[in-house]
Amino acid sequence: MAAPLTLHLQPLDWLNLFLYYLSLSLLAVGGAIATAPDMHRFLVERQGWLTEVQFNTSIVIAQSAPGPNVLFIALLGWNVGLNAAGTGTHAAWAFGALGVAVCMLGVLLPSSLLTWAATRWAHRNRERRSVRAFKQGMAPLVIGLLLATAWVLGSAHGEPAQDWPMWLLSAATTLLVWRTRIHLLWLLGAGALLGALGWV
């Protein structure tokens, strides 16, 4: 396992993190998870504020927990805060909370205001052809963003050829969700069991 990061974030870095999530908020069409590939690029590859393991673990924990899927952003912020606090410091909780607040406020504020205004406008103009066309055109975009997220999470090991069981399980799960009424908790349990047995 990789050693934890120790960051020295300045106030300008925290502002940069806030502004990044502020701008990303407006791209979160289909849910925040659809923007995970760009978050990976920014937090792991470009800034180096998170490790690959921290990024993937944040998503996995948040997605397996009940509640909105935006929770993984809180965990990403928490981990950035912990890395900024350094190891063994008493300020870890405060920095973790700061990371959560910066990321969540940044991602929720613009999209919430825009969604509120857009839904009011769309409801008033729901019979317009342009409004109906916009809604139909968003579906392929959302699907593409979700597929990009699946690719980032599925290639985390860097060995796509060795990860064929995981890809097979993902495809089978997709078909089961699409074509059956099996409850998602059964699929999560089956995936957890296969992982515990070391098959994926």
Does the reported pTM lie above 0.75?
Answer: no
**What are the boundaries of each domain within the chain?**
11-137
Residues 131, 191: Cα–Cα separation, whole Å? 39
pLDDT of residue 86: 79
Q: What pLDDT does 49 receive?
A: 96
Query: Which of these, 137, 131, 152, 176, lies nearest to 34 by C-alpha position?
Result: 152
Per-residue confidence (pLDDT) for residue 1, from 0 to 100: 45
pLDDT at position 21 is 95
* Cα angle value 157/191/36 (rounded, 5°): 50
Q: What is the mean pLDDT of each run of 10 residues along the chain (200 residues)?
A: 74 96 81 88 95 92 83 94 82 92 94 86 87 83 81 72 80 90 89 84
